[in-house]
A and B are shown apart, each in its own frame.
Chain A
């Protein structure tokens, strides 16, 4: 059973508009969340993270929102640029348990930003 779900396999957005990528999780023990971006033929690169003690973290055009009660997080990119076109992975981490520190990834959402 998937613990981290990205239910939209793809998203298309016009340049300059906001991109919103969503992620849901089922394990209430997750307390640290990350977003990675992946271009074709490259490995995932870290984008932004958020701890469960916060509900928002912002870094330039990228903002991650966390709603713990809904077990939902989202990544907002504004304004979107063609260079943002990539696959975005949501990942979560459980501070406790035998696999402490292991990242659990979603399947990814492919974002296409149209000029």
Chain B
């Protein structure tokens, strides 16, 4: 596999469930990102990890819990979500944190919370 992969591609969960989204990058990058895209809204940055350390938490509710065990893998643990959390969740990576670097996105996980 090349690039940035995300699993699952689609997820339906109830408000009391616990699930995790997985992202893996095969680009040798050191920075990884979680974004949320809701209908008719811009992509919103949620979390940033640089060299496995969380450097940004963009005021995200605690029902979203990120984990970055190594530079290649990023997880988003979900628990007691709300229907308004239904969205496309995109993972991205970049070589580091230089401001002119390009971010490479995965295909996203389409999440529906019932």
Contact = CB atoms under 8 A, between A and B. Distances in A.
Interface string A85-101: 00001000101000111
A49 B90 contact: no
B70 to A, nearest CB: 21
Contacts of A108: 42
A34 to B, nearest CB: 7
B107 to A, nearest CB: 5
Given A43-B105, A44-B90, A2 B48 contact: no
B100 A51 contact: yes
Interface residues of B, number: 26
Interface string B1-32: 00010100100000000000000000000000
Contacts of B104: 45-46
A5 B110 CA distance: 24
B107 A41 contact: yes
Most-contacted residue by chain B among A42, A95, A101 (CB, 10 A): A101
Interface residues of A, number: 26
Contacts of B48: 102
Interface of B: 4, 6, 9, 40-45, 48, 56, 58, 90, 92, 97-108
Given A45-B104, A46-B102, A46-B104, 13 more contacts: A4-B42, A32-B99, A43-B6, A44-B90, A100-B99, A101-B97, A101-B98, A101-B99, A101-B101, A103-B43, A106-B42, A107-B41, A107-B42
